Structure 1
Amino acid sequence: MERFKANRDFLKTDFTPMKNRKPDRALEVPQPPLVKDYDKTSTIIELPKVSEDILTNNNILKCIEDRRSVRLYDNSPLSLKELSYLLWATQGITKVSDNNTFTLRTVPCSGATHSFETYLFIINVEGLSQGIYRYLPLEHELLFIYEIENIENKINDLTLEQPFVPKFASKASVVFAWSTVPYRSEWKFDVTAHKKILIDVGHICQNLYLASESINAGTCAIGIYDQNMVDNILKLDGENEFTIYLAAVGKKVIK
C-alpha cells in the first residue's frame, strides 16, 4: 500500500505549505495572459453563433439521465454549428472583467484562473480539413494550425491500447485535447494550484458530455494517451503547457 501513499496524499486538501509563502500574485508579479496569443495572420475560421435551435434535446434531466461514455459512432459528420456549440459549452466566455484580469465561462474554475486551452483533432466536421485546430474563446473562432493526412492513423497511435473498444477515437468526428498552462493557476494559488487544475478539467469534460447528449452526439473521455506524442503534435513544450485530457465526440449510431 505504500506505493499509493504519495498520490493519495495529493488528492487531499492541504494548505499548510502556504503558511510561510506568498503566491506570485501577492508578490505583485505580473499576471500571465488570460489566453494564449496567436499569429494574427493565421487562418481563422469564424464559428456560427450559438443558439438553442441546435438542440435535439433541451431536457437537462433527460440529458443527465441518458449520459454515457459513447465509443461507437456513425459515419455522419458533425456540423460546424454543432462544433461551435460544443466549444462554447466547454470553454465559452460569458463575461470579461472590466479590468481584463479574469473571465467568466460556461464552466466553473478555481479563482477564475482558467488554465486550459482547447485543441481539436478534426476528423469529420463539415467544411473543415482534417488537421489540428485551436479554439479562440475570446473571439469564439477557430485557429487552423496545420493539416494532417490520414489523421485517423495518428489518433490510433497516440491513444494507445484502449481497454474496451480499441481504436474507437479515430472513428469519431473530432477529438478534443485540453492542455493546461499551469502558471495561470500557480500565479494565484502557488503550490496548491495543481489539484485545482485536475478538478477544473473534470468540469469541462462533463459539460462536453451533457452538451453532446443534447445534440444526439456521444462523448468518451480519454485518459490513456501518449503524453509526448500528443504534446509534440500540438507543438507544446511539455513544461509550461502540456496536454492534460482528451475526449472523442461523434454522432451516435442510430439503433
Structure 2
Amino acid sequence: MARYEKQRNFLKSNFDEFKNIKTDKMNGIPKPASIKSYDSNSKIVILPKPSEKTVTNSNIYECIRKRRSTRFYAEKQMSLEELSYLLWATQGITGTNNAGLTLRTVPCSGATHSFETYLFIMGVDGIQKGVYRYLPEDHTLLFMFELDEMDNKVDEITLDQPFVPNFTKKAAVVFAWSTIPYRSEWKFDITAHKKILIDIGHVCQNLYLASESIGAGTCAIGIYDQKMVDNILRLDGDEEFIVYLAAVGKKQE
C-alpha cells in the first residue's frame, strides 16, 4: 500500500501548510493573463449567440437521469448553434465580480480559470475541419490550423480505450482542455493543483448535461497520449498541457 501514499496525500487538503506560504499574489507579482494572446490577423469564427432555443430537453431532472458516457455517434453533423451552446455551457462568461474577475457557467477556485479549450472539429456544419481554440471573452473560435488525417490523429491520441476502441475519431468534435497552472499557482501556490483537477471535473460535467439537453452524447477521456496531444496542439508540456479530453457527437436514434 505504500506505493499509493503520495497520490493519496495529494487528494487531501493541505491548507495548514498553505497558510504559512506567501504566494506570488501576496508578493505583488502581476496576475498572469487569463486568456492566451493570439495574432490579430488570425482567422476568427463568429459563433451564434447561445440561445435556449438550441435546447431540445430543458428538463434538468431528465438530463441528469439520462446522462451516460456515449461512445456511439450518429453519422450526422452538429450545428454551429449547438457547438456555440456547448462552449458557452463549459467556459462561457456570464459576468464579472467587483474585482473584475470573470464569472463563468462553471465554478472555479478563486476565479483563476486556468483552462484553455481546444477543439478538434471533424463534423460541425459550416465549419472547416481543423483545430481551433475557444476565446470566451468574445465567444468566438480562433482557427489554428488544418490537421492532415485528423480523425486518425485523434484516434492515435486516444488509443487503448477499454470499452469501445477507436470511438473518438467518429465524434463530431473532440474537446481538449489544457491547463496553464501558473494562473492558479499565482494565487494558491502548492494547493493549486488539486483545485485544477476539481475544477476541470465541473467543466466536463457541464458538457455532459448540456450535450444531453440537445440530443448529443459525450464521453470523457482520461486515457490519452500526453506527449502526442501536447505536440499536436503546440503546447510546451510544462507551462501548458492537456489535462482532459471529451468526445461529442449526435446520438444514434
Q: Same fold (TM over 0.5)?
A: yes
Residue 130 of structure 1 contacts residue 149 of structure 1 at CA under 8 Å; is this kept in 2? Answer: no
Residue in 1 that maps onto 2:159: 160
Residue in 2 that maps onto 1:4: 4
Q: Distance in 1 between matches of 2:34 and 2:228?
A: 26
Residue in 2 that maps onto 1:17: 17
Could you give the per-residue CA deviations for residues 108-147 of structure 1, whole angstroms, max 9, x where no partner exists? 0001111000000011111112211000000000000001
Q: Distance in 1 between matches of 2:35 and 2:43?
A: 18
Cα offset, 1:96, TM superposition? 3.0
In the alignment, residue 181 of structure 1 is paired with which amino acid?
Answer: I
Secondary structure at the residue paired with 1:114?
coil
> Residue 169 in 1 paired to residue 159 in 2?
no
Q: TM-score, normalised on structure 1?
A: 0.97
| Greater displacement, 16-25 / 42-51 | 16-25
In the alignment, residue 194 of structure 1 is paired with which amino acid?
Answer: H
Q: Distance in 1 between matches of 2:169 and 2:141?
A: 21
Residue in 1 that maps onto 2:143: 144
Taking the TM superposition and a 5 Å limit, the aligned residue runs for 1:143-222 are: 143-222=142-221
Q: Distance in 1 between matches of 2:60 and 2:196?
A: 26
Residue in 2 that maps onto 1:66: 66
Residue 182 of structure 1 contacts residue 240 of structure 1 at CA under 8 Å; is this kept in 2? Answer: yes
Cα offset, 1:97, TM superposition? 4.1
In the alignment, residue 109 of structure 2 is paired with which amino acid?
Answer: S
Q: Distance in 2 between matches of 1:19 and 1:69?
A: 39
Residue in 2 that maps onto 1:126: 125
Q: Distance in 1 between matches of 2:21 and 2:114?
A: 22
Secondary structure at the residue paired with 2:176?
strand
Residue in 1 that maps onto 2:84: 84
Q: Distance in 2 between matches of 1:6 and 1:62?
A: 39
Cα offset, 1:36, TM superposition? 0.9
Q: Distance in 2 between matches of 1:29 and 1:97?
A: 21
Cα offset, 1:20, TM superposition? 2.7
Q: Percent identity?
A: 64
Structure 2 unaligned spans of 5+: none
Cα offset, 1:69, TM superposition? 0.2
Could you give the per-residue CA deviations for residues 173-198 of structure 1, whole angstroms, max 9, x where no partner exists? 00000000101100100111000000
Q: Distance in 1 between matches of 2:61 and 2:99?
A: 37
Q: Distance in 2 between matches of 1:12 and 1:99?
A: 29
Give the aligned length: 253
Residue in 1 that maps onto 2:111: 112
Q: Distance in 2 between matches of 1:62 and 1:18?
A: 41
Q: Distance in 1 between matches of 2:152 and 2:251?
A: 22
Q: TM-score, normalised on structure 2?
A: 0.98
Residue in 2 that maps onto 1:231: 230
Structure 1 unaligned spans of 5+: none
